[in-house]
Amino acid sequence: MPTNGRSFQDLANLSPVVGSGATFAIGGQRESSTAITLDGANQRYMMNGGLISSITVSMEAIREYEVTNNSYNVLEGRQGGGSVNVITKSGTNQFTGSAFYYLRNRNLTRDKNFLNQPINDFQIRQYGASLGGPIIKDKLHFFTAFDFEDRTDPPLAIIDVRDNATERIAQISRANLDRLLTILQDQYGVDRNQQQTGLFPRKAINRTIFARLDWQVNDKHRLTFRNNVLWAYAPLTVGPSGVDPTMIYESYGNTRIWSYSGLAQLRSVLSSRLTNDLKVQYLAAQRNFEPNTRAPRGWVNVTSQIEGVGTVSRVFQFGGNRIAPEEQGERQLQLVNNVYWQKGKVFLTFGTDNIITFTNTLNTNEQGGLFEFPSLDALANR
């Protein structure tokens, strides 16, 4: 099924009970009220109540996709709005595979953005492949898939002052901006070799690799090992937090993510009426906000005379980001065991599902202090 962006989350939008946008909000509830499972094992992270990335598992590895918002069976839980369960592919006695390459670039967009700034170097490349088949026919099968994305977003405009029109947008004159940068470089340690204002290209990556082995041990037991790895990096994504003033480049930060999910599953046919399903999963994830500098933050109020506008004042920020560095990580251990028993016309299920979560969080706020200056003269005089 076609999706824009190859995010497996978008498949949920086919259900009328799922909210719009890139979330798993079901039945009008919050995204944190949705249970998310991969092969019946938890994929929801406690640190943000949802998924850590939009590309968690390659779509090449998905066999079945289920959205449930009522009439839950006994195997579903940990949700207030609904549940999403994804079943992955396994290998068969036939070798099968796929390969794909998608490209979107600036030729498919406008030449300029709404600020009349040129859109340069915009490109999204998504590529990957899958392969499955027998290692030992009727006995041992494998399936693997990888899904990569290289993305160059339209440049981020940071106090991009080039003429009178951009002076009006930024609310600072070119002369005052030059003086501001000179003071910061001469007296406050701002890197002279790093561009601090203008247009900044952003190159982000997403990588996910999936691998699965299925071993038919004998007529009664089937053993499955499934692993999924994700890592991603997105520059200049940690910006103003809502209360921060306009920032130069060094005050931005970057986002780095990785996660790992490993599952071992043993399905045993104990008799014609009794089946047991044992699952053990280890889930780990880390999301870090990385600052471009750890220097203390400073605010300075700059008053400028702009032709056609008059006197304008605006506060600008230099130094580190208010919330970076920030680290959020967790480790989950999950044990699930279900017993299925059929007696006549009655089908009974007994089981237990247990998760132990270990979290580590580093939250910072004004860790280097905040220094406010009422004017450029005050900044120059320290």
pLDDT of residue 115: 67
Residue-wise pLDDT for 181-213, tens only, equals 999 999 999 999 999 999 888 999 999 999 999
Residue-wise pLDDT for 13-62, tens only, equals 888 888 766 567 888 888 888 888 899 999 888 776 667 666 678 999 99
pLDDT of residue 54: 61
Q: Across 137-197, where does the E strand assignment appear? A: 140-158
Distances from the Cα of 126 to the Cα of 102, 105, 122, 157, 318, angstroms? 5, 12, 14, 25, 36
pLDDT of residue 73: 81
Per-residue pLDDT band for 368 (boundaries 50, 70, 90) equals: confident
Give the pLDDT mean for 347-352: 94
Q: In what order do the strands lie in the sheet with 310-318?
A: 246-247, 310-318, 297-306, 370-373
Contacting residues for 310 by C-beta, under 8 A, at least 6 apart = none
Choose the weakest-confidence range: 91-95, 115-119, 308-312.
115-119
Q: Hey, CA dihedral for 6, 7, 13, 14, is it positive or negative?
A: positive
pLDDT of residue 299: 94
Contacting residues for 43 by C-beta, under 8 A, at least 6 apart = 36, 37, 51, 56, 86, 261, 283
Task: Answer yes or no: are the C-beta atoms of 152 and 203 closer than 8 Å.
Answer: yes
pLDDT averaged over the chain?
90
pLDDT of residue 48: 66
Q: Tell me the C-alpha distance between 274 and 270, whole Å.
A: 5
**Rounded to a whole number, what is the distance in angstroms from the first to the last CA of the chain?**
61
- Whether the per-residue pLDDT at 349 is higher than 90: the answer is yes
Question: What six digits make up the tokens of 310?
Answer: 């008059």
Half-sphere exposure of 89 (CA within 13 A, CB side): 23
Residue-wise pLDDT for 300-309, tens only, equals 999 999 998 8
Per-residue pLDDT band for 269 (boundaries 50, 70, 90) equals: very high
Q: Across the chain, where does the E strand assignment appear? A: 34-38, 41-42, 62-68, 82-88, 96-105, 123-136, 140-158, 198-216, 221-238, 246-247, 253-269, 274-291, 297-306, 310-318, 326-343, 346-362, 370-373
Choose between 116 and 277: higher pLDDT. 277
pLDDT of residue 182: 96
Give the pLDDT mean for 144-151: 95
Per-residue pLDDT band for 70 (boundaries 50, 70, 90) equals: confident
pLDDT of residue 329: 93
pLDDT of residue 120: 72
Choose the weakest-confidence range: 34-48, 243-257, 315-329.
34-48
pLDDT of residue 236: 93
Residue-wise pLDDT for 110-120, tens only, equals 777 776 767 77
Q: Is 311 exposed, middle or buried (0-12, 13-18, 19+ CB in 10 A)?
A: exposed
Q: State if pTM tops 0.75.
A: yes
